[in-house]
């Protein structure tokens, strides 16, 4: 903090600036696994907004490289930051990061990529802000349960619903659990499912479009629905479907995503995306910043979210369909 103040003062002297607002509150170093991610951009903006007037947050891009992120954490520690908030590139790297922050005596709040609980038992001063991945899987499955219940004619005569699935990054809790729980929800509702193709598109819209284009070429109208672990991949799939004449002249394909990003809400409005699940970037970002500040101050009074099992803040998901999407715009 002192170092930062003297740097700001030096800047004032060198540049002859007449008014510079000095940082209020603690200095927080924030690493985002990569800036080029639609959902994380929402979280990043929410962190900056929550920091206004209460903390000095420096947010850096880890460029999807764990080695780069480790260097950034060391830099924050060496520069005397009061606390860090980390969106890990690789969630199995959290123990290594916690070794560094505990040695420096500062708190770390992980967000969006959940530490592996068994790897964290040696550490105290860490938290995780995220959402229960299985909940989002169940909700995206429920959107399809509602669709096939309302449209039994969309189920093939043999009673088997054939799906393709675009998954997020392997190893990410959201990719793994959304994939499992969405199908489980449909099966629990009594439907019979068959996977035509399941593959990762790394949360990425272009990869989603490419995979869907290949699947349409391979399976054509055998595909009954598309499940995507996030909206960007769902939107990529919709582009591929549009190129094959879907969403015109009564040719429909139920596609579900997760996140409720602005472009996904647009797609819901135009009637191409069947539904999505709100992954609440605004509250996840705010909770991350406020929790880091509270942990730095050792004072959690007024912290507006519940802390579960001493470490976890869970932000709820919400189902978003044509019935309620205007509430989220
Ligand atoms: C979101 C994805 C995002 C990923 C980044 C997930 O929770 O649904 O859109 O790419 O987090 O880690």
- Whether 26 contacts 293, CB under 8 Å: yes
- Whether 304 contacts 283, CB under 8 Å: no
Question: Strands 312-314 and 126-130: what pairing?
Answer: parallel
CA–centroid distance, 301 to ligand 1, in Å, is 30
Q: What is the dihedral of CA 297, 299, 303, 309, to 10 degrees?
A: 110
Residue with tokens 């505990």: 102
Q: Which atom of ligand 1 is nearest to the CA of 258?
A: 8
pLDDT at 3: 56
Helix (H, G, I), strand (E, B) or coil at 260: coil
Residue ID of nearest Cα to ligand 1 atom 10: 203
User: Is the beta carbon of 279 within 6 A of some atom in ligand 1?
Assistant: yes
The token pair at 67 is: 């080695």
Q: What is the pLDDT along the chain (329 residues), one digit of tens a residue?
A: 555 555 554 444 344 333 344 557 999 999 999 999 999 999 999 999 999 999 999 999 999 999 999 999 999 999 999 999 999 999 999 999 999 999 999 999 999 999 999 999 999 999 999 999 999 999 999 999 999 999 999 999 999 999 999 999 999 999 999 999 999 999 999 999 999 999 999 999 999 999 999 999 999 999 999 999 999 999 999 999 999 999 999 899 999 999 999 999 999 999 999 999 999 999 999 999 999 999 999 999 999 999 999 999 999 999 999 999 999 99
User: Is the beta carbon of 258 within 6 A of some atom in ligand 1?
Assistant: yes
- Please tell me the pTM assigned to this model: 0.92
pLDDT at 1: 52
């Amino acid at each position: 903090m002192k170092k930062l103040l003297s740097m700001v003062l030096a800047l004032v002297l060198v540049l002859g600036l007449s008014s510079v607002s000095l940082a209020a509150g603690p200095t927080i170093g924030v690493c985002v696994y990569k800036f080029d991610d639609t959902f994380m951009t929402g979280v990043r903006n929410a962190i900056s907004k929550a920091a206004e007037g209460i903390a000095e947050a420096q947010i850096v891009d880890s460029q999807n490289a764990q080695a780069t992120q480790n260097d950034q954490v060391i830099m924050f520690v060496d520069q005397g930051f009061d606390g860090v908030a980390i969106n890990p590139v690789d969630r199995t790297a959290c123990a290594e990061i916690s070794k560094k922050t505990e040695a420096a005596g500062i708190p770390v709040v992980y967000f969006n990529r959940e530490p592996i609980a068994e790897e964290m038992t040696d550490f105290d001063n860490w938290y995780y802000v995220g959402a229960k991945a299985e909940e989002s899987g169940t909700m995206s499955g429920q959107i399809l349960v509602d669709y096939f219940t309302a449209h039994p004619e969309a189920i093939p005569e043999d009673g088997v619903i054939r799906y393709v699935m675009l998954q997020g990054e392997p190893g990410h809790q959201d990719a793994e659990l959304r994939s499992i729980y969405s199908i489980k929800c449909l099966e629990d509702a009594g439907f019979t499912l068959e996977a035509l193709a399941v593959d990762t598109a790394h949360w990425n819209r272009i990869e989603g479009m490419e995979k869907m284009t290949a699947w349409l070429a391979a399976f054509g109208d055998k595909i009954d629905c598309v499940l995507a672990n996030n909206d960007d991949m769902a939107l990529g799939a919709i582009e591929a479907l549009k190129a094959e004449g879907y969403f015109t002249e009564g040719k429909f394909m139920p596609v579900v995503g997760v996140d409720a990003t602005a472009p996904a809400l647009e797609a819901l409005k135009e009637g191409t995306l069947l539904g999505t699940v709100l992954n609440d970037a605004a509250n996840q970002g705010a909770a991350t910043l406020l929790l880091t500040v509270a942990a730095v101050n050792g004072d959690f009074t007024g912290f507006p979210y519940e802390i579960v099992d001493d470490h976890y803040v869970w932000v709820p998901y919400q189902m978003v369909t044509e019935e309620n999407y205007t509430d989220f715009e």
